């Protein structure tokens, strides 16, 4: 292919076939058309980017974000949310359905698709929410409608109450979805907290004690119970189950030995109650479902990240406004995180807390494979040229004023992260040296 006119050649040290290698990534029409050991002659190629300092990794695939669009755009929209994602090295997101209106059918899916199509900077897909009353035939028709421009990327079931009112009240009713999941290969992602197991604990009047109260109320037993019920109701179809934001050793144990896959979030990996109480202006900032817990649970999650029990890291980017968080125990649950997830994990790699290949597996390849996003998550011929350049010497402190989410705050203020110096989406630079060089609307809905 040396004679081909490539649109762009990126000469770099990149993670390819499991190790760092010096290669030339040759891009045509946004895809990796060839990977060469020596760069093609310049006369035969288009633009050439020579990356000398850093390394190149696949773009991050964040399969768990709440971009709040449509309907909740004072918190975030597809423009600000996907810009924030891009600055953190995320090149593909799957957006959750608890918007206004909620994404539950063809019309609301279309609304969401339209909201994203004029604003998104990176590629994106959408979940639709199922409840115990959702019509399986309706969802089957949605998924199979080949003429439609818009189809759901996966299903989401809120097995416990959280932001929005999309409860799947009877976990046993998941059984109705087993033939659909097996037949179509669709993934059902669940928020696993069993409300029947929530404890009654006196609500604190002030912000002080909010995190302990929240963690005692929504204790680890509620997570474990919900996981066990979901596995029992799906039976063999549990291989299509993706358990979101596992937060506790008990939750991990409940999933042990099953074919379900597990996600953890950066907030459960990098924060614990003691640290939050010490470092945060307001405890309620880190009120999130499932709750931030103690050091032992955090350590258990790290062990599962390292030994392969965890399949994906997802940000659960859930922006709320500071004014809302001032409501203490009554404030909405959720923390922003799409921009800081990659930088925190890459800093952990630099600190030798996990190997680079494992980080890339958890951030990019694992999520892409789990959700059958075949063009995403890796550096291979035929895949989208979604790439990030990382310079490990460019570590810096995380500060809300440098981030791009509309919510304007971060639970990681003052912690250190490694932000990408360049981000390519389908061969186009979307971020370079802290500037956004993309126009909203260039991002595409995936898989249609
Ligand atoms: O804390 C949470 N916030 N957990 C969820 O499940 C939803 C999210 C949100 O959308 O705010
Ligand atoms: Zn979520």
Q: Is the CB of 190 under 6 A from ligand 1?
A: no
What tens digit of pLDDT does each residue of 180-226 get? Answer: 999 999 999 999 999 999 999 999 999 999 999 999 999 999 999 99
Q: What are phi and psi of 61, to 5 degrees?
A: -110, 110
Give the nearest ligand 1 atom to 158 CA: 6
Ligand 1 pocket, mutate which of 69, 160, 242, 333 (most atoms under 8 A from CB): 333
Query: What's the CA-to-centroid distance between 188 and ligand 2, angstroms?
Result: 13
Q: Tell me, what's the pLDDT at 43?
A: 57
Residue 18: strand, helix, or coil: coil
What tens digit of pLDDT does each residue of 280-332 get? Answer: 999 999 999 999 999 999 999 999 999 999 999 999 999 999 999 999 999 99
Q: At 148, is the pLDDT very low, low, confident or very high (cuts 50, 70, 90)?
A: confident
Q: Is the CB of 267 under 6 A from ligand 1?
A: no
Q: Is the CB of 247 under 6 A from ligand 1?
A: no
Q: Is the CB of 273 under 6 A from ligand 1?
A: no
Q: Is the CB of 227 under 6 A from ligand 1?
A: no
- How confident is the model over 43-69, as a mean pLDDT? 92
The token duo for 367 is 């999520």
Give the nearest ligand 1 atom to 316 CA: 8
Q: Tell me, what's the pLDDT at 160?
A: 83
Ligand 1 pocket, mutate which of 76, 168, 289 (most atoms under 8 A from CB): 289
Query: What's the CA-to-centroid distance between 156 and ligand 2, angstroms?
Result: 10
* Averaged confidence pLDDT in the chain: 95
Measured by CA distance, the residue closest to atom 4 of ligand 1 is 289
Measured by CA distance, the residue closest to atom 7 of ligand 1 is 163
Query: What's the CA-to-centroid distance between 93 and ligand 2, angstroms?
Result: 12
Distances (CA, A) of 282 to 208, 276, 277, 348, 404: 8, 9, 8, 26, 21
Largest Cα span, the chain: 72
What tens digit of pLDDT does each residue of 2-16 get? Answer: 456 899 999 999 999
Query: What's the CA-to-centroid distance between 92 and ligand 2, angstroms?
Result: 16
Q: Tell me, what's the pLDDT at 1?
A: 47
Q: Is the pLDDT of residue 54 over 60?
A: yes
Q: At 447, is the pLDDT very low, low, confident or very high (cuts 50, 70, 90)?
A: low
Query: What's the CA-to-centroid distance between 31 and ligand 2, angstroms?
Result: 30
Distances (CA, A) of 79 to 84, 92, 131, 438: 9, 14, 29, 11
Question: Which residues are found with C-beta within 5 Å of the ion, ligand 2?
Answer: 316
Q: Is the CB of 63 under 6 A from ligand 1?
A: no
Q: Is the CB of 318 under 6 A from ligand 1?
A: yes
Q: Which percentage of the chain shows pLDDT scores above 70?
A: 97
Query: What's the CA-to-centroid distance between 18 and ligand 1, angstroms?
Result: 34
Q: At 40, is the pLDDT very low, low, confident or very high (cuts 50, 70, 90)?
A: confident
What tens digit of pLDDT does each residue of 394-441 get? Answer: 899 999 999 999 999 999 999 999 999 999 999 999 999 899 999 999
Among the residues of 51-190, which ranges form H helices? 78-87, 106-117, 136-144, 178-184
What tens digit of pLDDT does each residue of 58-91 get? Answer: 999 999 999 999 999 999 999 999 999 999 999 9
60/41 Cα distance (integer angstroms): 31
Q: Tell me, what's the pLDDT at 288?
A: 98
Q: Tell me, what's the pLDDT at 145?
A: 85
Query: Which of 129-133, 142-146, 153-157 is predicted least confidently?
Result: 142-146
Ligand 1 pocket, mutate which of 127, 161, 162, 218 (most atoms under 8 A from CB): 162
Q: At 378, is the pLDDT very low, low, confident or very high (cuts 50, 70, 90)?
A: very high
Q: Is the pLDDT of residue 150 over 90?
A: no
Ligand closest in space to the Cα of 158: 1
Catalytic site residues?
316
CA angle, 439 then 64 then 430, to 5°: 20
What tens digit of pLDDT does each residue of 272-281 get? Answer: 999 999 989 9
């Amino acid at each position: 292919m040396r004679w081909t006119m490539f649109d762009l050649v990126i000469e770099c040290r990149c993670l390819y076939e499991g190790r760092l290698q010096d290669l030339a990534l040759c891009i045509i029409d946004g895809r990796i058309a060839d990977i060469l050991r020596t760069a093609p002659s310049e006369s035969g190629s288009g633009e050439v980017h020579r990356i000398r300092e850093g390394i190149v990794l696949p773009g991050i695939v964040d399969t768990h974000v709440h971009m709040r669009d449509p309907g909740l755009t004072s918190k975030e929209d597809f423009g600000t949310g996907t810009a924030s994602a891009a600055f953190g090295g995320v090149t593909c997101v799957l957006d959750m359905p608890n918007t206004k209106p909620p994404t539950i059918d063809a019309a609301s899916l279309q609304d969401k698709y339209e909201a994203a199509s004029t604003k998104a900077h990176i590629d994106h897909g959408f979940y639709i929410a199922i409840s115990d009353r959702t019509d399986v035939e309706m969802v089957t028709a949605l998924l199979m409608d080949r003429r439609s421009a818009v189809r759901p990327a996966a299903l989401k079931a809120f097995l416990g109450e959280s932001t929005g009112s999309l409860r799947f009240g009877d976990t046993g009713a998941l059984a109705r979805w087993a033939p659909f999941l097996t037949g179509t290969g669709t993934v059902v992602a669940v928020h696993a907290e069993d409300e029947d197991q929530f404890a009654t604990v006196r609500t604190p009047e002030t912000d002080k004690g909010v995190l302990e109260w929240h963690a005692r109320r929504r204790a680890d037993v509620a997570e474990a119970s919900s996981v066990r019920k979901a596995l029992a109701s799906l039976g063999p179809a549990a291989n299509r189950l993706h358990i979101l934001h596992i937060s506790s050793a008990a939750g991990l144990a409940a999933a042990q030995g099953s074919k379900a896959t597990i996600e953890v979030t950066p907030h459960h990996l990098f924060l614990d109650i003691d640290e939050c109480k010490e470092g945060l202006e307001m405890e309620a900032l880190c009120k999130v479902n499932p709750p931030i817990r103690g050091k032992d649970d955090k350590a258990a999650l790290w062990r599962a990240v390292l030994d392969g029990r965890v399949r994906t890291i997802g940000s659960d980017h859930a922006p709320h406004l500071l004014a809302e968080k001032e409501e203490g125990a009554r404030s909405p649950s959720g923390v922003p995180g799409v921009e800081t997830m990659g930088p925190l994990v890459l800093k952990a790699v630099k600190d030798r807390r996990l190997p680079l290949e494992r980080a890339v597996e958890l951030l990019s390849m694992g999520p892409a494979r789990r959700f059958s996003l075949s063009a995403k998550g890796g550096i291979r011929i035929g895949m989208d040229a979604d790439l990030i350049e990382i310079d490990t010497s460019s570590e810096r402190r995380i500060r809300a004023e440098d981030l791009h989410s509309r919510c304007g705050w971060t639970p990681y203020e003052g912690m250190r992260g490694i932000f990408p110096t360049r981000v390519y989406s389908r061969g186009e630079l979307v971020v370079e040296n802290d500037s956004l060089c993309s126009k909203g609307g260039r991002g595409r809905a995936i898989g249609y």
